[in-house]
Structure 1
Amino acid sequence: MKLKKVMSGILCLVMAITLLAGCGKKANTNETGNQTEKTENKSEGDVDLSEHVTLVMYLYGSAGVANDDILAEINRKLTEDINTSIEVKYIDWGDIGTKYPLIWASNEAFDMAYASINTAVPFYTLAKQGSLYDITDIVDKYTPTLKDTVPESSWAATSSEGKIYGVPTLGSGYTSTGFVYNKENCKKWGISEVTDLESMIAYCDASVAHGIYPFNGNADIFRDFYKMLIETTGNWVPAPGISTEEMHLVTRDYKNYKDIIHPAFTDEFAQFVTMMDEWEAKGYWPKDILSSSTGDKEMYKNGQSSSYITHMGDWTGNYTNIHGKLQDQDIDAWYFAEDHNKIMKSSPAQDITVVNANSKYPERCVMAIEKFLTDKSYYNLWQSGIEGRQYEIVDGYLEKPASFDESVDAGGFSAWAFSNAEFKIPLRTEHPSRYEKMEEWSKTYLSDPYTGFSFDPSKVSTELSAISNVNSTLGIQLMLGKTDNVEAAIEEYRNQLKRAGIDAVIEEVNNQLASFTQVVK
């Protein structure tokens, strides 16, 4: 149940920071980069490429049946180019919260890994703890194409104290939560399409009247409603300090990123959770939602709801999987932040490839990353597989070949950090509005005001644990209308946050922000 996941995530982070405290940048003593063969003298810049090496890289996920074949093709090309191979080690989805911190804390031998501001040990924490290799000089000297291709603002976002510690993705994404609904229902029910809160409520009311829940799933949807609160309220945007997996802090105005509050102490929050209480009473979701285990999109797919809330990339990217087998699907979304002109571009530090401080071959690592990010042939292999086996291009769309056999051809990597928007080929399984919205938002987006800032929670770890307890109980109950007296529950929630130490956390965030200089404005 999500209540337990929130707590375990906070505890993993605290544990990781404690373990990492003694992990500085050590001598190059790891045994990765196994020397497998020697070839003729070969160099690029001043790097001696005469000796073939294998670099160990960690990615999320698990190996598909054809992953070894795809990787063999990547390695064939990489050996020709820089006399290097890649060995991928996987962190299975269910193990991320525990294994990811441990690969850094245990001094395990590897060369590269996926990193993010949202990983169990955040990117900036790894950089400050000395777990990452400073690649500034390598980028300058050996990978000029990479240096010129990555925007300066993205390099700034993957830097700490003026040094580059990671290579950011060249893909672009947007934080854009929306109410996803079926316009065919609007026609059948005789109502307008959803363009604002009033028409959303009209849709939900009509759905209940026709015997189907507007929302269905498990307790996770509290997070969707919390995003809705933030994105529909003035100039609020998420602020650091509390995990965004729970009911986190915001800045009251993205133009003043140091004005940090917890929404619980505002009239807007009280009005919103009162509305949630009303929606629960109307039957917008099942009574047993707190104990349910099935997710909201799975419920929609099974015909158990008429809508759901998620971000644009999720529903458009998974359109066929969610909606493909259902009848009369004309899907659209009302994006909450659009009404306040605050669609935010994802931080360049969202998806990064980092080099372990103990790698024996940091130059080879960065040279390999350059190939993966700037050469379309590598991009296609990492993102789509082998042409003719995992994919083919038909009329400009990426499709599975007629010969594709799931039992022998399925494969792929969670290579998000190797994404490049320039090389992206649309999938027929995606909703076409995905690219329409990305083009539209590329002209109007906001940059995350906290890009480049890393909050160190060590001084308030006790308070954060207590706050997480409050959020995972009374907080979630308020967001899902599961209190007997909403006014009394709001007051109690505020009191519990105070006792848990919310003021100390906000003060610590402000103390750390005092020395922060924005890298994007």
Structure 2
Amino acid sequence: MVKRKGKVLSVALAATLAVSLSACSSSSSTETSATDKGTGKTDTAVATAGASSGKINTSEFQAISYVMLGDKPKNGQFEKVMDKVNALLKQKVNAKLEIKWVEWADWQTKYNLLLASGEPVDLITGATDWLDTWQNSQKGAFMPMDKLLPQYAPITWKEIPPEDWAESKYKNQIMIIPENHYTQWVNHGFFYRGDWAKEFGITKPITDFQGLGAYLQAVKDKKPGVIPWDTNGTGLGIANGYVNSVTDAIELPIGTGMINVIFGKSFNDKYKAYSPVFDDTFVNLAKMTKEWGDKGFWREDVLNYKGDNRSLMEAGKSSIDQHHTQTYLGERKKMDQLQPGSDLQLFPFSATRNNLVSLSITHGGTSLGAHSKHPERAMMVYEVLRQDPEVYRLMNYGMEGVQYVVKDGKRYRPDGYDVQRDEFYSNFWGGRIDKNEIPEGDTWAGKENLFASYDKIKKPYPYGRFVFDKASVNNELTAVTQVVNQMAPALIYGKAGDPVKAVEDFRTKLKSAGFDKLQAEVQKQLDAFKTLVESSK
């Protein structure tokens, strides 16, 4: 369960950065004062750069880029907050931060193309389970950080234990800084309107796809002008969600495109490679989505549609959305304002079988671009973003008095807050940390019970140190991914004709692409991983 306590660390950070900077900066650097918002004390040490060893000269102002996933905010608040962030970064490490957004429309393709382009980006939001960190490491997209972290991000280096660094390495080199000190639940599911469910006579929580289908049919029948799920063809989370709901399969950190086609069989059979595509699981999924599409649960042109379903749900024009628990908690609060009384509910995919697996510590993290021109300063900037309470709170919450106020140590929305006018987000998912969090004071009353229910059934994520080496099956993995990306959207949204034949065609194309060889290699590496795990006990 998430429990966070804010703690002022500016003095400690200042001292550590001062030592770090004095060991690596030019003597021409100057001392600048900065005020610690948490204590009110003026701290000149943060930006001090004294004696020099000549390794880096902080007198040169540098711009550091940070790749973030998401659509850039359009209400002007982001720019106002970043002005304040950059003023502090200039004082502390003589740098500014430039966010490079990878928008949600076709995000997987855009993200991987950016990393493959050779563009000299600096910090990069990463993840081993949904952003292909290991695959991109094998392609040379990242710069190892082992030698940089101790000197340029010393607090972060020391607070992450060796066993967590071990889960962050590819070929014994650190490729991602884990978000290991931020407690969260990111198990996925569907959000649905509790007020409408009650109106339809659905009195029990939705815990399976059959119940969700009944709800969507009621929306179709009783809410004219509302598209039950106004999704677009790039979001295929329903596929993995269905697998999670009807089997005990666990996602492996192996990217196969828009949907996963190779899983671990179950928690008790975690070292067996399994594909739901080749049994009744996928046939039943295709039959269900064909039926849902024919009933008009989404647009006829879903594969070409580019709308934002979440915004439409917030406007009362769509009845569900698919994402994880953390997003649900934020959306529930947002919907309370935009759709009063909506009583947003969550159907976690794991609710059907109670087969919840905890989060990998590298579900969120930050990597360093292989072509970064300023790797040392990038590490310094990251250290400030993660460790300095004032900068951290700006990046995560926005401006005190505008986006939030603090009362009795908890964070609330200010009086008069308007979500469309005042909302801020930076999607800083690669460096959040519990010690710098300010607990929310106006969270949904059921949050604690929801988290407690998860804690009762959770199982530890078994693949934290499993890194799939694709070298011997690179061609097959590429070909399988191409087949998945070409065929899965139509199949998942019921636009591929007869579902049984569509799945058979999908299977045939996958096998022609080398699926059997790919799965055999996954099994071989899982066997070796099992031996490694058991020998280390």
| TM-score (norm. length: structure 1) | 0.75
Instruction: Write the distance in 2 (CA, Å) between the matches of 1:424 and 1:312.
Output: 18
- Measured after TM superposition, the shift of residue 265 of structure 1 is 0.9
Q: Which amino acid aligns with 1:166?
A: I
Q: Secondary structure at the match of 1:114?
A: strand
Q: Which amino acid aligns with 1:207?
A: V
- CA deviations 1:11-58 (Å, max 9, x no partner) are xxxxxxxxxxxxxxxxxxxxxx99895237846998989854545422
Q: Secondary structure at the match of 2:426?
A: coil
Q: Which amino acid aligns with 1:380?
A: R
Contact 1:313 1:434 in 2 (8 A): no
Alignment-derived partner of residue 203 in structure 1: 215
Alignment-derived partner of residue 23 in structure 1: none
Alignment-derived partner of residue 275 in structure 1: 288
Instruction: Write the distance in 2 (CA, Å) between the matches of 1:155 and 1:512.
Output: 21
Instruction: Write the distance in 2 (CA, Å) between the matches of 1:95 and 1:247.
Output: 16
- Measured after TM superposition, the shift of residue 300 of structure 1 is 2.9
Alignment-derived partner of residue 39 in structure 1: 30
Contact 2:124 2:368 in 1 (8 A): yes
Alignment-derived partner of residue 22 in structure 1: none
Contact 2:125 2:430 in 1 (8 A): yes
- Measured after TM superposition, the shift of residue 329 of structure 1 is 0.9
Alignment-derived partner of residue 239 in structure 1: 252
- Measured after TM superposition, the shift of residue 297 of structure 1 is 2.8
Alignment-derived partner of residue 150 in structure 1: 160
Alignment-derived partner of residue 430 in structure 2: 417
Q: 1:299 to 1:42 in 2, by over 3 A?
A: closer
Q: Which amino acid aligns with 1:39?
A: T
- Measured after TM superposition, the shift of residue 271 of structure 1 is 2.9
- Measured after TM superposition, the shift of residue 229 of structure 1 is 1.6
- Measured after TM superposition, the shift of residue 382 of structure 1 is 1.8
- CA deviations 1:325-374 (Å, max 9, x no partner) are 33541221121213433333333223323345676875655454334323
Q: Which amino acid aligns with 2:393?
A: N
Q: State the Cα RMSD in Å.
A: 4.3
Residue 379, structure 1, aligned to residue 403, structure 2: no
1:356-395 mapped onto 2 (5 Å cutoff): 356=369, 365-394=378-407
Q: 1:69 to 1:214 in 2, by over 3 A?
A: closer
- CA deviations 1:170-189 (Å, max 9, x no partner) are 32333422232222223322
Contact 1:111 1:362 in 2 (8 A): yes
Q: 1:473 to 1:420 in 2, by over 3 A?
A: same
Q: 1:329 to 1:250 in 2, by over 3 A?
A: same
Q: 1:152 to 1:222 in 2, by over 3 A?
A: same
Judging by fraction of residues, say which structure has more strand. 1
- Measured after TM superposition, the shift of residue 518 of structure 1 is 5.8
Alignment-derived partner of residue 353 in structure 1: 366
1:70-219 mapped onto 2 (5 Å cutoff): 70-71=81-82, 73-74=84-85, 77=88, 83-93=93-103, 97-98=109-110, 101-102=113-114, 105-106=117-118, 108=120, 111-117=122-128, 122-125=132-135, 127-128=137-138, 132-137=142-147, 139-140=149-150, 145-169=155-179, 170-197=181-208, 198-211=210-223, 215-219=228-232
Alignment-derived partner of residue 411 in structure 2: 397
- Measured after TM superposition, the shift of residue 383 of structure 1 is 1.4
The sequence identity of aligned pairs, in percent, is: 20
Contact 2:336 2:343 in 1 (8 A): no
Contact 2:128 2:253 in 1 (8 A): no
- CA deviations 1:180-221 (Å, max 9, x no partner) are 222222332223223433543443343344255673224438
Contact 1:298 1:322 in 2 (8 A): no
Q: Secondary structure at the match of 1:309?
A: strand
Instruction: Write the distance in 1 (CA, Å) between the matches of 2:372 and 2:479.
Output: 38
Q: Secondary structure at the match of 2:287?
A: helix
Instruction: Write the distance in 1 (CA, Å) between the matches of 2:169 and 2:335.
Output: 38
Q: Unaligned 5+ residue runs, structure 1?
A: 1-32
Q: Secondary structure at the match of 1:174?
A: coil
Q: Secondary structure at the match of 1:494?
A: helix
- Measured after TM superposition, the shift of residue 266 of structure 1 is 1.0
Instruction: Write the distance in 1 (CA, Å) between the matches of 2:320 and 2:201.
Output: 17
Contact 1:132 1:165 in 2 (8 A): yes
Q: Secondary structure at the match of 1:178?
A: strand
Number of residue equivalences: 485
Q: Which amino acid aligns with 1:160?
A: Y
Instruction: Write the distance in 2 (CA, Å) between the matches of 1:72 and 1:284.
Output: 43
Alignment-derived partner of residue 10 in structure 1: none
Q: 1:365 to 1:494 in 2, by over 3 A?
A: closer
Q: Which amino acid aligns with 1:187?
A: K
Instruction: Write the distance in 2 (CA, Å) between the matches of 1:327 and 1:107.
Output: 45
Alignment-derived partner of residue 5 in structure 1: none
Q: Which amino acid aligns with 2:65?
A: Y
| TM-score (norm. length: structure 2) | 0.73
- Measured after TM superposition, the shift of residue 234 of structure 1 is 3.0
Alignment-derived partner of residue 39 in structure 2: none
Q: Which amino acid aligns with 1:275?
A: M
Instruction: Write the distance in 1 (CA, Å) between the matches of 2:49 and 2:192.
Output: 57
Q: 1:297 to 1:35 in 2, by over 3 A?
A: same
Query: Could you tell me which of 323, 331, 355 is aligned with 1:318?
Result: 331
Q: Which amino acid aligns with 1:258?
A: Y
Contact 1:215 1:308 in 2 (8 A): no
Alignment-derived partner of residue 26 in structure 1: none
Alignment-derived partner of residue 463 in structure 2: 450
